[in-house]
């Protein structure tokens, strides 16, 4: 898909939605915060380019972009990566709260 000197983007093997992409640093580290500043910058540049690509290619309305930074946060692969998940109007009954739903009883804060 997309790549640079320090990062690569590819479709997730277990996608949440059509077009779900992972952006991964080429250097193996468990957390993106173990990358040098230049590597982090390039990783986020690749996320930005991936976002643009997905918006155009998959005609999506929005995206969720997130990092599971550590086991308690849900990381299951011991290699840093960023999820770029395309979203479409109507793909769930009520999308409000987005990633807040990782803790369901705290997600809905609106009346």
In a domain, 83, yes or no: yes
Q: Into how many domains does the chain fold?
A: 1
In a domain, 39, yes or no: yes
Longest dimension (CA), the chain: 47
Provide the domain limits for residue 51: 2-89
Q: Is the pLDDT of residue 33 over 80?
A: yes
For range 22-40, the mean pLDDT: 98
In a domain, 99, yes or no: no
Q: Is the pLDDT of residue 106 over 90?
A: no
Contact 39, 6 (CB under 8 A): yes
Phi, psi angles (nearest 5°) of residue 11: -65, 140
pTM of the model: 0.93
For range 62-66, the mean pLDDT: 96
CATH number of the domain that 43 lies in?
3.30.428.10
Whose structure tokens read 């709260």?
A: 97
Hey, what are 110's tokens? 């609106």
For residue 6, give every residue at least 6 positions away whose Cβ sits within 8 Å of its Cβ, in sequence order, or none.
25, 26, 27, 35, 38, 39, 42, 43
Which residues are catalytic, by number? 81
For range 80-108, the mean pLDDT: 93
Arithmetic mean of pLDDT over the chain: 95
Q: What is the pLDDT of residue 1?
A: 77
In a domain, 102, yes or no: no
In a domain, 111, yes or no: no
């Amino acid at each position: 898909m997309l790549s640079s000197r320090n990062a690569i983007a590819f479709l997730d093997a277990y996608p949440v939605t059509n077009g779900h992409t992972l952006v991964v640093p080429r250097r193996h580290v468990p957390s993106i915060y173990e990358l040098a500043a230049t590597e982090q910058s390039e990783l986020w540049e690749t996320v930005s380019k991936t976002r643009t690509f997905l918006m155009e290619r998959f005609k999506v309305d929005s995206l969720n972009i997130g990092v599971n930074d550590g086991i308690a946060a849900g990381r299951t692969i011991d290699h840093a990566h960023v999820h770029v998940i395309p979203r479409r109007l109507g793909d769930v009954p009520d999308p409000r709260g987005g990633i807040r739903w990782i803790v369901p009883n705290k997600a809905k804060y609106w009346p």
